[in-house]
Structure 1
Amino acid sequence: MSGHSQGPVTIHPVKSKADLREFVELAFRLNRGDPAWVPPLKGEVYGLLTPGENPWFEHGKAQFFLARLDGRTVGRISAHIDDLALAQPVEQGMGPGTGNWGLLEAEDAEVTHALLVAAEDWLRRQGMHRALGPLSISIWDEPGLLVEGFERPPTIMLGHNSPLYRDWIEAEGYRPVKKLQNFSVEILDGFPPLVNRIVAAGEKNERIRIRRVDKRRFNEEARLIMGILNDAWSDNWGFVPLTDSEIAYIGKKLKDIVFEDLIRVAEVDGEAVAFMIVLPNINEKLIDMDGSLWPFNWARLLWWLRKPKSRRLRVPLMGVVKKLQNSRMASTLAFMMIEYIRRDGVAEYGAAEGDIGWVLDDNQGMNAVAEAINATVNRVYQIYDKPLG
């Protein structure tokens, strides 16, 4: 981390396959000493960064940068612009002129400075007047910088970074613009009596049907759920709609880790109006795999996925259609789905804890649900912005 007297930090756009490999590998080198860091599968990371594989690139463009010092790679960052985000209303956090950066890894403050300057310059040249980050790469991937909750490894699809980054980023003039919270909840012994009463009342309501998803109709179910999601989240801060090709891509990526009894769709009067997706925490396995499925990790993972046991389950996504939001019906459906999945999670997967998130700090409905089931915040992510003068 020391010895900067040798020479200046230089910035290089990623141009070749070798550059991209350095970009991916750097995260492994810099985070290897952090016991809470879960190495992602390298194939997944390459997929995220590759136009033609990740359908985000159908409406977005990105430039990746490496920082080098004396021939050694000491940092990385992405700068990117999403046409769908530019089309969103300004008061929802994105909007015209807002570009993004993310995937930051750096050895020290000086490297961070050089990387952010490079990302900001690129955004300026593209006509942007505001930088919002970190996003890796879209709001649907891993948004925000972890600022609280470094002690334990994250569950599936949650980011993790060095606690040093916060000061380094804030020193560059970035101000927090939005907080994302992840909740932890004990699920072994069930929820408070109030929740059980709401669930029991819902069970007597003939208009309500809570069903499992049908994996044989997987693509159809994925489209149905993501359609509800696009409607449910459309007024949220930072929302960018998912395209049909992104929905298909997410479905394909999740197919091996979704289980029928961990996903519920709620119907009212025969219409699907809400859903909840819960995933077993594959990170419990990945933490020892160093990003590779070869030679034997693939078999280990497949064996585990046949009937996963997972101490902690994660709720990455749930939603209720907009017309029902802030209604009693919405909270009834939420509690029923949570309770039904809780029962199966405990009985079938050996789960004792749940993770719910992330949740925007001003999402009153979800924060009220979290409070009612005695969930507590265990990780906080922050998204920053800065005007590009």
Structure 2
Amino acid sequence: MADAQISIEAITDKNGRERFVDLGRAFAAQLEHSVPQLRSEQLELVDPAKNPFFGHARAQLFIAHRDGKPVGRISAHIDELALQMSPEQGFGPGAGMFGYFDAQDETVASQLLETAEKWLRDQGMNRVVGPISMSIWEEPGLLVKGHDHSPVIMMGHHPAHYAGWIEAAGYTRAKTLYTYDLDITKGFPPLVQRIVQSGERNKRINVRPVRKKDWDEEAAKILAILNDAWSDNWGFVPLTPAEVAYTGVKLKPIIHEDLNMIAEVDGRPVAFMLTFPDINHVLKKTGGKLFPFGWFHLLRWLRKPSGSDMRVPLMGVLKEFQNSRMASQLAFMMISYIRDNAAARYDSTRGEIGWILEDNQGMVAIADTIESTINREYAVYEKSIG
């Protein structure tokens, strides 16, 4: 039932975007184990003039007020590239999205979701998928398991009760995303070691660290492989050239050559694995602020993130090699080399792999084979609004 005391404001300017971001930060600050992120980065993600996602998408941000006080927020957005995908891959014609969902109570949540649905319906959409904040490559899904520990770099962290509120509004789960926890102080099982050794005997294969001095070219190679390797996956939306360039610039400061690998076959890049030190380790100390002294801690950490947890957000093998013996060799060689470097050179003890789709049999099998365990689950919901 609608609450007459609640009003919904549509955000139309820079000041509104700042209030939208700051409201999300205020909600996050109340949540145990949440880690404050850099405000400047959060503002950039919702700024159409700065985030190339808006080159193929349109969005409307909303803030809910009760008695003049902000009590919730949500985004409604439409990705034109997602509309062109097959419905079997999660989106397709008529599929809009919601994201950046925060609410003080279930009544606020209900009215925010209704508002986002109405905006999407008015734009010609007949289905809603979410939460996705805001590109599928940024922060997909709602945390539904793993609230008892802090997230790592670029991972969402949400109150447990949000799931019930979303489901009460008529949403059903479309897909589950897993993250896996890995003890990197231990060696890999004998099977993995044998696969790595067989790959090392194959003279066609060369697994090398990325070259940071050539990072723009390296990033383009990696993201080209990604666009091919993930093209049949649920939720896939291709990255545009502008997004590739933007992502490369954003990732460069956290790239350490020996933690990121490109695999070549006959001199041709065919696979990659990215690993990021967990910058949240620093953001906890600085409160997500660069000034007055946060920049010093951040720069010092970026040079040598000793003792940091590691996150593997992305890896991929060109489709032509998938489901082959060589694909296993490439994957386990990259994983093994990065694990060894993280433990020996950075004193890391823990890694996190994900997101991984629940039905991505290849990646689930890899995660199981290296004896990692699920530590977080994210749910993506959908609802018909036609």
TM-score, normalised relative to structure 1: 0.97
Instruction: For residues 286-329 of structure 1, give each alpha carbon's deviation from its aligned partner in whole angstroms, at most 9, with x where no partner exists.
Output: 12323321111011100111111143100011000001111111
* 1:335 corresponds to which of 324, 332, 335: 332
Shift of 1:207: 1.1
Q: Does 1:253 align with 2:250?
A: yes
Q: What's the Cα RMSD here? A: 1.4
* 1:152 corresponds to which of 144, 149, 152: 149
Report sequence identity in percent.
52
- Report runs of 4+ in structure 1 exceeding 6 Å deviation: none
Tell me the residue number matched to 1:79: 76
Tell me the residue number matched to 1:293: 290
Shift of 1:11: 0.4
Instruction: For residues 27-57 of structure 1, give each alpha carbon's deviation from its aligned partner in whole angstroms, at most 9, with x where no partner exists.
Output: 2222223231011110001110001200000
Instruction: For residues 68-120 of structure 1, give each alpha carbon's deviation from its aligned partner in whole angstroms, at most 9, with x where no partner exists.
Output: 00010000000000000001111111100000000001111001001001100
Tell me the residue number matched to 2:274: 277
Tell me the residue number matched to 1:21: 18
Q: Does 1:41 align with 2:41?
A: no
TM-score, normalised relative to structure 2: 0.98
* 1:6 to 1:82, Cα distance in 2 relative to 1, 3 A: closer
Q: Does 1:105 align with 2:102?
A: yes
* 1:208 corresponds to which of 180, 205, 208: 205
What is the distance in 2 between the residues matched to 1:304 and 1:202?
A: 34
* 1:6 to 1:238, Cα distance in 2 relative to 1, 3 A: closer
Alignment check: 8 A CA contact 1:7 1:70 kept:
no
Instruction: For residues 335-365 of structure 1, give each alpha carbon's deviation from its aligned partner in whole angstroms, at most 9, with x where no partner exists.
Output: 0000000111011111111100000011011
Tell me the residue number matched to 2:375: 378
What is the distance in 2 between the residues matched to 1:6 and 1:245?
A: 43
What is the distance in 2 between the residues matched to 1:86 and 1:288?
A: 41
Which range moved further: 134-143 or 24-33? Answer: 24-33
Alignment check: 8 A CA contact 2:182 2:373 kept:
yes
Q: Does 1:323 align with 2:320?
A: yes
Q: Does 1:119 align with 2:130?
A: no
Shift of 1:17: 2.9
1:355 maps to amino acid: E
* 1:366 to 1:138, Cα distance in 2 relative to 1, 3 A: same
* 1:165 corresponds to which of 141, 162, 165: 162
Structure 1 residue runs of 5 or longer lacking an equivalent are none
- Equivalenced residue count is 386
Alignment check: 8 A CA contact 2:3 2:107 kept:
no
2:18 maps to amino acid: R
Structure 2 residue runs of 5 or longer lacking an equivalent are none
Which range moved further: 190-199 or 16-25? Answer: 16-25
Match of 1:219, SS state, is: helix
Instruction: For residues 191-220 of structure 1, give each alpha carbon's deviation from its aligned partner in whole angstroms, at most 9, with x where no partner exists.
Output: 111111111111111111101111111100
Shift of 1:262: 0.6
Match of 2:250, SS state, is: helix
